[in-house]
Structure 1
Amino acid sequence: MKYSCLFLILFSLSCSESELRTVELSGVNIIGKWQLEATKISPGGPVDWSNVTDGAVIEFKPNGFVEVSNSENEQIGIYKIEEDGISIRFSETNNYRGSLQEGKLILGFIGCIEECSFRYMRIN
């Protein structure tokens, strides 16, 4: 019995609150993997979405970290859910803002003069 109490104490100490919480954006749990399915990059005029095959995967973790894989530049950053959307920071100059629209995660590159949007679909 005393070993089971010790096990329960150790187990509860190993699981922090941040590891157990869900992170919601517009009522949707953002935690998990999302894959790039389309981009909207404008060279100076109006553009529409262009489909992407085998796009980069972005994974939101419950501890506030985000990882991008399956792309040219694998990155680790941090994200924050705010009242008006989500912000992602990979470095001083590599930052994104986004929101959920019709179940898709739409991210935009901060500092882009023209349209620079990336649409992700949940895969996990």
Structure 2
Amino acid sequence: MKYFLPFILFFAFVGCDNDSNEINPTESKILGSWKMVRQQYSIGGPPFWEEVLDGEILEFQKNFVFKVVKDNSESGIGIFDLRNDSLIRTFSNDTDSIKYISQIQLKGNKMLLIPVSPNRCIEGCSFEYLKME
């Protein structure tokens, strides 16, 4: 019995959950401001990239709130969640709520969003953002 006590204590400590309000490592990479710089789309042929001038800025905050800034003014606010490789952004007002789900790829200072729902591109599209300092 005395040999089982260390195992029981080990699993008791390992099984404890962290504070649910903490940002996990994947989420911490997304925190901050991101500016859209390119978009990829297709009109029936091979996809191509196009530079975006004066692209929107997405601001992700530690409290799971995000803001959309366009033309130097806030154009939207909502909450976000990361699940596996999906970014879920939810906008709400007094009467309605809409979720935008995108596949997300984070590599260094680049973030690629590929729309999944509700506006999935038939021929494929994606939006590239650069992290702002």
Select the structure of larger CA radius of gyration. 2
TM interval, shorter chain, is 0.5 to 0.7
Aligned residues: 105
Opposite residue 103 of structure 1, the aligned amino acid is: N
Unaligned 5+ segments in structure 2 are 1-19, 92-96
* TM-score, with length taken from structure 1: 0.67
Distance 1:60 1:48, change over 3 A: same
Which residue of the partner structure matches residue 87 of structure 1?
88
Which residue of the partner structure matches residue 98 of structure 1?
104
Provide the C-alpha distance between the structure 1 equivalents of 2:106 and 2:32, rounded to a whole number of angstroms.
14
Task: List per-residue Cα deviations over 1:5-58 (Å, max 9, x = no partner).
Answer: xxxxxxxxxxxx85xx545328x6211100001000222221222111221100
Unaligned 5+ segments in structure 1 are 1-16
Distance 1:123 1:103, change over 3 A: closer
* TM-score, with length taken from structure 2: 0.64
Provide the C-alpha distance between the structure 1 equivalents of 2:102 and 2:47, rounded to a whole number of angstroms.
20
Cα shift at 1:102: 4.7
Cα shift at 1:93: 6.0
CA-based RMSD: 2.7
Percent identity over paired residues? 30
Which structure 1 residue ranges, 4+ long, deviate > 6 Å from structure 2?
Answer: none
Which residue of the partner structure matches residue 3 of structure 2?
none
